[in-house]
Structure 1
Amino acid sequence: MDIKAKGFVSAETVARLAGVSRSAVSRTFTDGASVSEATRKKVLEAADALGYHVNHLARGLSHDRSNIIGIIVSEIPTPYQARMLDEMTRQLQVIGKVGMVINTTGDQESVANALRQTLNFRADGVIVLSGTPDASLIASCVANGQRVILINRSDHIEGPANLAVENAETAREAYHLLRRAGCQRLAVVSSTAGTPSLTARDSAFVAAAQEDGLSVPIIRAGPTGYAAGAEAARQLYGRSGGPDGVFGVTDLLALGFMDAARHAFGLRVPQDVSIVGFDDIEQAGWESYALTTFRQPVEEMVEHIMQLLSQAGPDEWAHTVPPIKPIPIWRKSVLPRPGAA
């Protein structure tokens, strides 16, 4: 006869079958707890027969700990976000946490609803990959004992940790890279998303150009993606005097721009136009693109996040995490012109 119960098997059911107390079952499945070998053997045999699994959620909540980490994210299909999620969820499992991914549209209301869900599920922490949640809602999360980690949030909010990359300095480096390649007519391909990280990149690039007395247009042709990059190329080359140097604030925008420039307008990369990206997604290294870009060190960023989550409490956090510097990756989409300084 199959004695396995339908639905979840309780510890009480295991205790009855094993002929022991409920607390003996609990001690058997608690690391370091005292229980005799005879009792342990009976409990394990009963648990195996019933198909019993420890309810870690209930056990954690009894100690005000769920081991759930909320991950608030938008644009999941994009290569950078997918790579970040892959690395983050795997590393959460290593430290004994469960990632609860909440897919949002990135706007303030959507992110606010996602934060409330993490509170409803008593998440131990929440990582905000997308959007700019209201400071008062973040304060509510912190007051409820949640660790809140913001990724690339430009403004300072008391309570959460903010993990950022050096967006502005890297964008300025991209500007000087293109100028050293001899580019005279520059443009920035950005996005309508308006996130703090993207805004920091495009504004810093323009500011660096203004210091040299150059006027640089920012083209925001749509959401952060390949199609918006391609549309930016159509807008820029649909009139005379198109750019000979372009900074895409993400690789996906840069790749869309590159394809449209080559296939719709017959331009050569890098002979006619040099292109620099940001992120170093897998596709940037494909031979058909060979995009010069700046790599966001995802592994290093996730390692910082895991260290924060592994600490005992927010009071122990170093709230000012030093910005992480992206790494320049040189490929074939930028080529110095003859006579370039």
Structure 2
Amino acid sequence: MKSSATAQEVARLAQVSQSAVSRTFTPGASVSEDTRNRVLAAAKTLGYRPNALARSLITRRSRIIALVMSYLQNQFYPLVIEKLSQSLQKQGYHVLMFISDLEETDGVLAEILQYQVDGIVMASAMLSPDLARQCAESGVPVVLFNRVPDISAFARHSTSSVTSDNHRGGRMVAELLLARGHRRIAFLAGLEKSSTNLERERGFHEVLEAAGVAVFRRAVGHYSFELAKEATRELFAGPDLPDAVFVANDHMAIAAMDVLRQELGLRVPEDVSVVGFDDVPQASWGAYRLTTVVQSVEDMVEATVELLHEQMREGTHPRNVVIPCRVVERDSVRAAG
């Protein structure tokens, strides 16, 4: 067994060309089954391992996708990491993860570009116009996951995005709560500047306004479990209480339910209905049975990978993809009739 066997030696032993060896170890490349078996057998005999770094120097492709995250508290994003990594790995790509500040990602840009990544996926992270410009100038495609580009013209035309239909989701929540007879409806916001929060709240407001109902109270939880608890206490301070609350994501909705039941002695849904957004695994747990808006992680990941391929291989223009969402009813909202 030799630890420094070369592709040329494998080719000679397998009696194939060196390009056939290269294709055998390139995901998605065309090679016959007979050739593949001969190459793999020769590689095993010689102890050959393909050198990804050397290949990247030749192909000018690292087959590395940078994934930028700001926080992992919200259980929606561990699911995203799992599904996205599995999808990309099946196609021969590797995910390199970076943790950035919640609202400012420019600090990790230099580090990301040092790895000669083939693409960048930004999830739960903001994209500044300057970062969008630098990535475009470097020829590195960027896909925003669960975010839309900055309102600046440059960011809109240089960056792709994949989101669920947050606006429609907010509308569906308002329609559901109004249909169940609620009129003192509060909103527990996430991050004020995030596109997810803005779109969910916009759709929610539109339906309430059309029905002649004003948002009863509003507080901000910053997508944080502890801050969502504080925001819930703020919403339910005083004698006149909300009879329903729409929470901008499930992570905060679970925190809100804990406060309502354990600290304030309120019953869900008898005293107050609670609706979240995401449908994280914990939402279906028996302790919560949370009614929520479902974001399809699988569909969003599939669209993200497709956008990356379009821009890496075909050089197509960036585009924005919106995935439909739906409400799943459990036990945290007052029953009909």
Cα deviations by residue, 1:26-72 (Å, 9 ceiling, x for unpaired): 753443699xx9xx77x965x54664311123212322211111111
Q: Which amino acid is 1:153 matched to?
A: V
In the TM superposition, residue 143 of structure 1 has moved relative to its aligned partner by: 2.9
Which position in structure 1 is the counterpart of 2:318? 319
Cα deviations by residue, 1:169-210 (Å, 9 ceiling, x for unpaired): 211221121111111211111234632212322343234333
Q: Which amino acid is 1:183 matched to?
A: H
Seq. identity, %: 27
Which position in structure 1 is the counterpart of 2:248? 249
**1 CA distance for matches of 2:305 and 2:11?**
39
Question: CA 1:63 to 1:337, structure 2 compared with 1: closer, same or farther past 3 Å?
Answer: closer
Which position in structure 1 is the counterpart of 2:136? 142
Which position in structure 1 is the counterpart of 2:277? 278
Q: Secondary structure at the match of 1:182?
A: coil
Cα deviations by residue, 1:277-311 (Å, 9 ceiling, x for unpaired): 10000010011111110110110011111222233
In the TM superposition, residue 129 of structure 1 has moved relative to its aligned partner by: 0.8
In the TM superposition, residue 92 of structure 1 has moved relative to its aligned partner by: 0.5
Which segments of 5 or more consecutive residues in structure 2 lack a partner in the other structure? 25-29
Which segments of 5 or more consecutive residues in structure 1 lack a partner in the other structure? none
Q: Within the alignment, does 1:101 sit opposite 2:97 as a pair?
A: yes
**2 CA distance for matches of 1:106 and 1:213?**
34
In the TM superposition, residue 330 of structure 1 has moved relative to its aligned partner by: 1.0
Which position in structure 1 is the counterpart of 2:262? 263
Q: Which amino acid is 2:182 matched to?
A: C
**1 CA distance for matches of 2:203 and 2:216?**
11
In the TM superposition, residue 243 of structure 1 has moved relative to its aligned partner by: 0.7
Number of corresponding residues: 321
Which position in structure 1 is the counterpart of 2:126? 132
Which position in structure 2 is the counterpart of 1:153? 148
> After the TM superposition, which residues 28-67 of structure 1 pair with which residues of structure 2 at under 5 Å, given as runs?
28-31=21-24, 48=44, 51-67=47-63
Q: Which amino acid is 1:300 matched to?
A: D
CA RMSD of aligned residues (A): 3.0
Residues 193 and 224 of structure 1 are in contact (CA less than 8 Å); yes or no, is this contact kept in structure 2?
no
| Normalised TM-score (structure 2) | 0.84
Question: CA 1:10 to 1:145, structure 2 compared with 1: closer, same or farther past 3 Å?
Answer: farther
Residues 290 and 331 of structure 2 are in contact (CA less than 8 Å); yes or no, is this contact kept in structure 1?
yes
Q: Within the alignment, does 1:114 sit opposite 2:108 as a pair?
A: yes
In the TM superposition, residue 134 of structure 1 has moved relative to its aligned partner by: 2.0
**1 CA distance for matches of 2:257 and 2:311?**
47
Residues 67 and 95 of structure 2 are in contact (CA less than 8 Å); yes or no, is this contact kept in structure 1?
yes
Q: Which amino acid is 2:120 matched to?
A: V
Question: CA 1:337 to 1:232, structure 2 compared with 1: closer, same or farther past 3 Å?
Answer: farther
Q: Secondary structure at the match of 1:158?
A: helix
311-320 vs 94-103, which moves further:
311-320
**2 CA distance for matches of 1:216 and 1:322?**
33
**2 CA distance for matches of 1:164 and 1:33?**
37
Q: Which amino acid is 1:74 matched to?
A: S
